[in-house]
Amino acid sequence: MTNMKLVLSLITWCFLLSPSPLFADDGVALSDLQRAIALTDATMATSFVGGDSDLRMYDTYNTATKSGSGTADVWPYTAALEAHCSVLEALELLKEEAPELYDSTHDRFVTRLGVLYDNLAYYRGSYTLVSYASRRNWKIYGVHRGGSKGTATVTGIENVYDDQMWICRELVRAYRLTGEKRYLSQATNLADYCIDGWDCCLDADGNEYGGITWGPGYNSKHSCSNGPFIQPLVWLAEAYRTDDEEANMRHYYILPDCTRTTELRLHSDIYLDFAKKIYVWQKKMLLNKSKGVYYDMLGAPGEIKYVNVGGREYRDHVDTGNPGGTAYTYNSGTMLAGAAELYRVTGEADYLTDLDALCRSCFTQFAKVRRLGGIVYREWPTDEVATSGFNTWFDDVLMRAYVEAHPYNTSSQSQTALISFQQNLDYAWENHLIDGLLPIHLLDGWEGETVTKGFHQFAFASELAMLAVWHYRQGHPDSINSPQARPSTSPVTSYYDLQGHPIQPPFRPGIYLSQGRKVAVR
């Protein structure tokens, strides 16, 4: 056994030093995908109760009593959508390499994703929100599950913007993976709701204060209610960008005289503009420059303030305090993913600079050295017990961001980080699996703990699926979305392949025709 550990350690170091990654192998990708499928299935079996029309997710599952308890909030429920989307993403890439696995799994996961979405309606409710520039009725998701579909309480602090953003992200992915318009429609609704939460009040210089509060019932502005929105906004911009797109999205904002006004604009322009604005705001307000990672929040007084303009009441700006709070992995992960997406669609060098810096600082700040059986591991933040926090899912957000950043990272830091996630998951899978589930302490095991959360299990499943995506991309660079040939500020332009067939972004590397000229995408 000692000799085997030595061999594994040497393999790891060879991998770290090799310019051609040892793990860039379809066999490893397939193994990760198979484990992701098995873990997702096991979690569905242990953390859900009810049928297709009344599916309910338990808050916890006890491996000793084989029973679930409590009801999960909407945030953990969203992780079930994420795991299914991640598995489907990996399945699509590995379709030719594993046709039997694809045939036996794809439709089953598409169907179950639809069932999960249908039952997400138990968390949905409607209310009228008076925001900074409008007064509108919305159908969005509350923190807690309601007694029937569409009746959840969503007023005040019973809904938060970050929940809508996480759901929006997965619904855009669901649309991209299945083509079902209902996912795009609801993702669009949630995106518009979150944009409505942007603080568009003007300061003394006539500039927007910016930032999205944690929820409409809060004045504090958090990393988690801004950063997660960037990636789905970029995806939505791409979904709507066509040659015949019409300016039919109503944008609400404030004029220098404090009056509220609207204009019709292109969905694709608004979504990309807000992705950039949110990125700039969060980097300016919440980046800990000395450590290179992101603070948790900007605190603020609790009372919501209103202003009367022209006989109508609107929400007013409330000043926030200095940045603070714990630097959680996911708050830096969403900005890393945002930098990757914005670099991909704009090619602007500043995003690449930020991406490289975040890849390095996240690894330095969060990955701690652990020696186990003579092998060096890197352990990411975890909680004392499964019911005391959410670091397992926070780490998942950072890991998937490393996957998105890897094609553009100019150093090997993203690769090193992803290897560490792979090593930890492999060790836990081979040593600590119980009921098909993993402990939150991947290296130490369950340590007598019997309670877990489906929230955490879905996070691990998504990590395994996205590691499969990463491994596949390593061996198939043509599957990677490269930065687009045109700046995002240019007018919408038609692109064609060399045979004259129209194509849509994201573009793979190659030569394309645009306005009668050849354009290279690298």
pLDDT 10s per residue in the chain (522 long)? 334 333 333 333 333 333 333 344 578 999 999 999 999 999 999 999 999 999 999 999 999 999 999 999 999 999 999 999 999 999 999 999 999 999 999 999 999 999 999 999 999 999 999 999 999 999 999 999 999 999 999 999 999 999 999 999 999 999 999 999 999 999 999 999 999 999 999 999 999 999 999 999 999 999 999 999 999 999 999 999 999 999 999 999 999 999 999 999 999 999 999 999 999 999 999 999 999 999 999 999 999 999 999 999 999 999 999 999 999 999 999 999 999 999 999 999 999 999 999 999 999 999 999 999 899 999 999 999 999 999 999 999 999 999 999 999 999 999 999 999 999 999 999 999 999 999 999 999 999 999 999 999 999 999 999 999 999 998 888 777 655 422 333 333 455 554 455 555 555 555 545 544 445 554
For residue 193, which of 266, 125, 294, 122 has the smallest C-alpha distance? 125
Residues 504 and 409 in one domain: no
**Residue 176, domain member (yes or no):** yes
**Residue 305, domain member (yes or no):** yes
> What's residue 510's pLDDT?
53
Beta strands in 256-347 (DSSP E): 260-265, 287-288, 293-294, 297-298, 306-309, 312-315, 323-324
Helix (H) or strand (E) holding 140: strand 135-141
For residue 421, which of 462, 453, 480 has the smallest C-alpha distance? 462
**Residue 127, domain member (yes or no):** yes
CA gap 142, 55 in Å, rounded: 17
Q: How many domains does the chain have?
A: 2
**Residue 488, domain member (yes or no):** no
**Residue 312, domain member (yes or no):** yes
Residues 361 and 442 in one domain: yes
**Residue 131, domain member (yes or no):** yes
Residues 433 and 507 in one domain: no
CA gap 201, 208 in Å, rounded: 5
Residues 401 and 510 in one domain: no
Is the N-terminal amide bond of 76 cis, ω within 30° of 0? no
Residues 220 and 197 in one domain: yes
**Residue 447, domain member (yes or no):** yes
> What's residue 502's pLDDT?
56
Residues 334 and 405 in one domain: yes
We report the CATH number of the domain holding residue 267 as 1.50.10.20
Q: Which DSSP category does 337 fall into?
A: H
Residue 318 half-sphere exposure toward CB, CA atoms < 13 A = 21
Helix (H) or strand (E) holding 88: helix 74-93
CA gap 154, 60 in Å, rounded: 24
Residues 473 and 510 in one domain: no
> What's residue 78's pLDDT?
98
- For residue 512, give its domain range: 494-522
**Residue 489, domain member (yes or no):** no
Residues 459 and 505 in one domain: no
Tokens 């020696």 -> residue: 371
Residues 93 and 217 in one domain: yes
Triad 1, 439, 227: Cα angle to 5°: 120
Output the CA–CA distances (angstroms, integers) from residue 88 to 70, 243, 339, 400, 505, in the order listed.
29, 29, 24, 15, 20
Residues 31 and 105 in one domain: yes
CA gap 393, 75 in Å, rounded: 11
- DSSP of 37-71, one letter per residue? HHHHHHHHHHHEES-TTS-EE-SEEETTTTEEES-
CA gap 200, 258 in Å, rounded: 10
Residues 278 and 355 in one domain: yes
Residues 236 and 378 in one domain: yes
Cβ(91)–Cβ(477) below 8 Å:
no
